[in-house]
Structure 1
Amino acid sequence: CSSMGKLQSKINFSTSKYSRPEQVEEASPAPAVRRYSPAHTDAVTSVAALTPELCVSGGKDKTVAVYNWRSGVMLEKFMGHQREVTKVACALQSSRIFSASRDKTVMMWERHRSPGPSQRFPGHDLVVTGLAVSPDASQLCTGSRDNSLCMWDVETGACGRRVFLSLRQVTHLCWVPAEPYVLQSSEDKPARLWDSRELRVAHTFPGKQHVQTYCDVSQEGFGGEGPVSGTTLWDLRQTRSRMREYKGHFQTAASCIFLPKGLGLAPAIATSSHDCMVKLWSQDSGGLSTAFDGAGPLAALAACDSATLLCASFSTGIHVLRVSRGKGLELQEVGMF
């Protein structure tokens, strides 16, 4: 993510005795922030939507939690990793949940069953940093700081294919909706599109100046714009050049997601950063629409419905942010757990 200097406007405090006082519009009162029991006892590293009301999260406390963010109720908690959870992933409306960890393993958990893992996926030599599950939850793709990608059969736990990437430490993976492709960001700066059937590179997007820490694909997949990697938007239909860049964070952009369509809102992209900010950007113009200033470095984002974003924090749990339309897009914190 490219940083840019702060812009400060000069304020003129002088007034004329003949000038009419400016009318100041009263701001609508901010909604009260509901504080629920925390999902984790330490930093939250990853969050994902399971249903419009439920989310899955992983943390430094080595646990995976299923939480109802509307009611503030913890539904299930899974324990089994030996070190902190780095990523969580799930197919929408599925009972299967996947988690990656610094203990070099990936585990599958099934809701309403034993609290222990129902499947383990060992095989990486270093921390697992990328995790993507197919829409039918039958295949799993993982990436690691050991510079490898693995494709797993969920039912058997067997690694069907593995490729090594020279000096390409994986930072994030995302499955393209309704397609057999996986998008990958890495520390060598380019983003890559992989064909999961053969685990080969189908396309490489041009490298950027900075490390690409995250990637996402719009729900339209090849039928719409996407993916976004770091803070750059590409079109999957025309992969030769980038479409747009979003510049404004002062530190590493840790997450970027497409905002679901709803509320009559124009297409938008949300980003979170270690600079403690969540920002919404106009997908069409690239302009900044609104921002939220949180406490502590912010990690992953998840969109649970068309009007709600969840943001994981290293120090303050998970923030529930409401997206609404006033004179423009507005972003307000309404809950925390």
Structure 2
Amino acid sequence: MPTERGSSEDFCAVMGKLQSKLKHSTYKYSRHDGIIEERIQTKTFQEYSPAHVDSVFVIASLNSELCVSGGKDKTVVAYNWKTGNVVKKFKGHEREITKLACVPKSSQFFSASRDRMVMMWDLHGSSQPKQQLAGHDMVVTGLAVSPDSSQLCTGSRDNTLLLWDVGTGQCVEKACVSRNLVTHLCWVPREPYVLQTSEDKTIRLWDIRRLQVAHMFPPKQHIQTYCEVSVDGHKCISCSNGFGGEGCEATLWDLRQTRNRICEYKGHFQTVASCVFLPKTLPLMPMIATSSHDSKVKIWNQDTGACLSTFSLDGSGPLTSLAVGDADSLLCASFNRGIHLLRVDYSQGLELQQVAAF
């Protein structure tokens, strides 16, 4: 784990480079034609001073250069992943950070914590939260901001969803479903719907206009840990917990009329904690990426389910969160070794490389 360097430095503009490290990564993976391949990678990557002093639980992209992250140290960090600089640190939560949600096309974002609070922050504003939203009885485990930034939906292990007016900070709707222990929330683009995963192994689509369940997808065999909706709003992916390869998959669903399961992505050996749609890079096929507690990041052919690339972050422990940096970059949070910047290299087919850690 990263260790504290003697000064907490609430706000710091620059965190310097430490050193370049040689990365040795050995892994096996199954190609779509059934052949098992093993690759050994030896790459040099830049290691910066760590953004956090403990495990990182969540990371989100604020824009094409900045990310925000949070974890066990109860601090939210805004970081320029292209330069290796900490832009700002935000402290206000009393317990570890569980979720982050960025306001579209804005410098503002929300954080949730095990302290049951949700806080709104502005990168260009005060070090104090703009809003503090209290309404849940247990840890907040879901955050979703509407595309027009006017509403925030929050979910918790207390089985409830709350809908907030961002402008006033007031809760305007509340819904409770028995045994619905929320694990993640995301807003469907251009629609009044929120997608939600749960520990009861189901995926729910909520109509925000009445805060009622509009659709329930067929239940899976394992806890659903995370979900994301495609940019066009036509598809969504969810991922499952598991162990020893049982469960441990991501699933692609149709969000349109049929709302059927389209494809599954199997190959991880422990809980899949995060899944993202990758930006379309012509002329390549549509792709998704997953990160897992088995310390691996995988890229998949969205249409066929074939694993196109695997990268093992040896020694990083469980990989807890994944975010898209830009068309060629992924940001991956880990339990033991902070945040990893991965680059998708198309020069020799498709290969993931680590280019930095912070």
TM-score, L = length of structure 1: 0.89
CA contact (8 A) 1:312 1:318 kept: yes
- 1:288 — aligned with what? 307
- 2:285 — aligned with what? 266
- Looking at structure 2, the residues matched to 46 and 239 of structure 1 have their Cα atoms a distance apart, in angstroms, of 32
Between structures 1 and 2, the one with greater strand share: 2
User: What is the Cα deviation at residue 9 of structure 1?
Assistant: 8.7
- Looking at structure 2, the residues matched to 326 and 28 of structure 1 have their Cα atoms a distance apart, in angstroms, of 17
Unaligned 5+ segments in structure 2 are 1-28, 240-249
Change in CA separation of 1:28 and 1:306 when aligned onto 2, cut-off 3 Å: farther
User: What is the Cα deviation at residue 30 of structure 1?
Assistant: 5.2
Secondary structure, in 3 states, of the residue corresponding to 2:266? coil
* Mapping 1:63-212, distance limit 5 Å: 63-212=75-224
Q: Which amino acid in the other structure matches residue 264 of structure 1?
A: P
Choose the corresponding residue for 2:337, options 312, 316, 321.
Answer: 316
Choose the corresponding residue for 2:295, options 276, 282, 291.
Answer: 276
User: What is the Cα deviation at residue 261 of structure 1?
Assistant: 1.2
CA contact (8 A) 2:104 2:149 kept: no
User: What is the Cα deviation at residue 29 of structure 1?
Assistant: 8.0
Task: Kindly provide the CA deviation profile for residues 249-302 of structure 1, in whole angstroms up to 9, marking residues without a partner as x.
Answer: 111100011011125331111111111111111001101010111121101100
- 2:354 — aligned with what? 333
- Looking at structure 1, the residues matched to 200 and 41 of structure 2 have their Cα atoms a distance apart, in angstroms, of 46
Change in CA separation of 1:147 and 1:96 when aligned onto 2, cut-off 3 Å: same
- TM superposition outliers: structure 1 runs of 4+ over 3 Å: 6-11, 27-31
User: What is the Cα deviation at residue 136 of structure 1?
Assistant: 2.5
- 1:228 — aligned with what? 237
* Mapping 1:20-99, distance limit 5 Å: 31-99=43-111
Q: What percent of counterpart residues are identical? A: 60
Q: Which amino acid in the other structure matches residue 292 of structure 2?
A: S
CA contact (8 A) 1:140 1:153 kept: yes
How many residue pairs are counted as aligned between the two chains?
A: 315
- 1:21 — aligned with what? none
CA RMSD of aligned residues (A): 2.1
TM-score, L = length of structure 2: 0.84
Secondary structure, in 3 states, of the residue corresponding to 1:39? coil
User: What is the Cα deviation at residue 95 of structure 1?
Assistant: 1.6
- Looking at structure 1, the residues matched to 318 and 257 of structure 2 have their Cα atoms a distance apart, in angstroms, of 34
- Looking at structure 1, the residues matched to 198 and 65 of structure 2 have their Cα atoms a distance apart, in angstroms, of 31
Change in CA separation of 1:104 and 1:284 when aligned onto 2, cut-off 3 Å: same
CA contact (8 A) 1:30 1:332 kept: no
- Looking at structure 2, the residues matched to 324 and 9 of structure 1 have their Cα atoms a distance apart, in angstroms, of 22
- Looking at structure 2, the residues matched to 10 and 157 of structure 1 have their Cα atoms a distance apart, in angstroms, of 53
Higher Cα radius of gyration? 1
